[in-house]
Amino acid sequence: MANLKEIRERIKSVKSTQQITKAMKMVAAAKLRKVQDRTVQFRPYAMRLRKILRNILHQLEGDVSLELAHRRDVHKAVVVLITSNKGLCGAFNSHIIKKAQALIEERYKELLEDERLYIITIGKKGRDFFRKHYPKARIVDDYIDILEKFDFDVASSLADFLMRRFVDKTIDEVYVVYSEFKNPVVQIPHAEQFLPLSGIAEDEAEAPSTRYLADYIYEPSKEKLLRRLIPTILRNQFYRYLLDTSASEHGARMTAMDNATENANELLGELRIRYNKARQESITREILDIVSGARALEGG
């Protein structure tokens, strides 16, 4: 009998856990949708600007030296690590952290030893890990909560801060480790070089299709425009990192909670079978008792 009661208690607790995971899944889904809406809003803006950039780069005669693309010996470096504040989202954070570890191992081993590597952590999970395992890294957590609630202004102010520090030569290189959102089930961690600006010049200038080659009037000059465009593009880039990571986080949590709900269902099924078996057994035993009792009376 005690067994029956035990099983009943367990069914109850599994059920209430399941309700929580279900609710969390729904919340994550709603948040994901919001982030996706913002991504959709942002895309045309960002794409147009990149198109303008491509045009200018293509029509530019000769090289322009851009301060933000200036490569130099790296004495101090910054890794911006974007993770989530909360767990319950599968291996989402540990994938990003692993990516960051690989980056540090590969590029910044010496800087780390000399305590010249700064890690700007966004999200508590990343900060806690690196505090514990990398005592020599200089952890900056002024921006710890921005993934929870951010807008374009927040992203651009952080990007501006990094650009200023790069231009005044306080730092010589910046990498961002974030998670790209493919779909709710697939998130891909990336480590991308943010400063000095790289790649854009090459891959934007290559093979511009002919429809981009309109004969524009540029105001002010192409060079001046370029100098204003590059920071804008970098701010956009940073906003995209945040959007992508945020979408990934909610996607990962949604998937994790969906799995948890599914597992709870399985467990409940098993428990119900066990409960019914136990119940049947006890009834059989009772009937047996009654019947044998009656027999004993008749016989006597």
Q: Which residues are catalytic?
A: 89
Which residue shows structure tokens 């027999």?
295
Q: Which one of residues 214, 297, 299, 300 is an interface residue with other proteins (CB under 8 A)?
A: 214
C-beta closer to other proteins: residue 128 or 160: 160
Degrees, nearest 5: CA angle 153-155-161: 100
Alpha carbon distance 234, 230 (integer Å) = 6
CB of 179 to other proteins, least distance (A): 20
Q: Rounded to the nearest whole angstrom, what is the least distance from the CB of residue 64 to other proteins in the complex?
A: 15
Q: How far apart are CA 238 and CA 250, in angstroms?
A: 19
Taking CB under 8 A as the criterion, the residue among 44, 62, 299, 300 binding other proteins is 44
Binding mask of the shown chain, residues 215 to 254, with x at each position contacting other proteins by CB under 8 A: xxxxxx---xx--xx--x---x--x---------------
Distance between CA atoms of 260 and 257, rounded to whole angstroms? 5
- Quick one: 172 or 204, whose CB is closer to other proteins? 204
Beta strands 173-181 and 138-140, pairing class: unpaired
Q: Which of these, 239, 159, 158, 170, lies nearest to 197 by C-alpha position?
A: 159
Q: How far is the CB of 34 from other proteins (least distance, A)?
A: 12
CB 121 within 8 A of CB 99: no
Interacting residue with other proteins among 151, 203, 262, 281 (CB under 8 A): 151
| CB of 143 or CB of 150, closer to other proteins | 150
| Residue 298: Cβ within 10 Å count | 7
Question: Considering beta carbons, is residue 38 or 127 the nearer one to other proteins?
Answer: 38
> Where are the extended beta strands (E) located within 29-152?
77-82, 117-122, 138-140
String of contacts with other proteins for each residue 12-41, x by CB under 8 A:
--------------------------x--x
Q: Are 174 and 69 in contact (CB under 8 A)?
A: no
Stretch that binds other proteins, among 43-51, 67-75, 104-112, 124-132 (CB under 8 A): 43-51
Only one of the segments 12-20, 21-29, 111-119, 213-221 lies at the binding site for other proteins (rule: CB under 8 A); that segment is 213-221
Q: Which is nearer to other proteins, 53 or 119 (CB)?
A: 53
Q: Which stretch binds other proteins (CB under 8 A): 12-20, 98-106, 148-156, 292-300?
A: 148-156
Shortest spacing between CB 165 and other proteins, in angstroms: 21
Cβ neighbours of 269 (radius 10 Å): 10
Contact 11, 265 (CB under 8 A): no
Does 149 bind other proteins (CB under 8 A)? Our answer is no
Shortest distance (Å) from residue 63 CB to other proteins = 20
- Which residues, 47 to 86, sit near other proteins by CB under 8 A? 48-49, 52, 55-56
Rounded to the nearest whole angstrom, what is the least distance from the CB of residue 230 to other proteins in the complex? 12
Q: What CA–CA distances, in Å, run from 2 to 7, 200, 267, 279, 287?
A: 9, 70, 20, 11, 19
Q: Please state, in angstroms and rounded to a whole number, the distance separating the CA atoms of residues 59 and 165.
A: 30
Q: By the 8 A CB rule, do 244 and 42 touch?
A: no
Binding site for other proteins (CB under 8 A): 38, 41-42, 44-46, 48-49, 52, 55-56, 151-152, 156, 214-220, 224-225, 228-229, 232, 236, 239
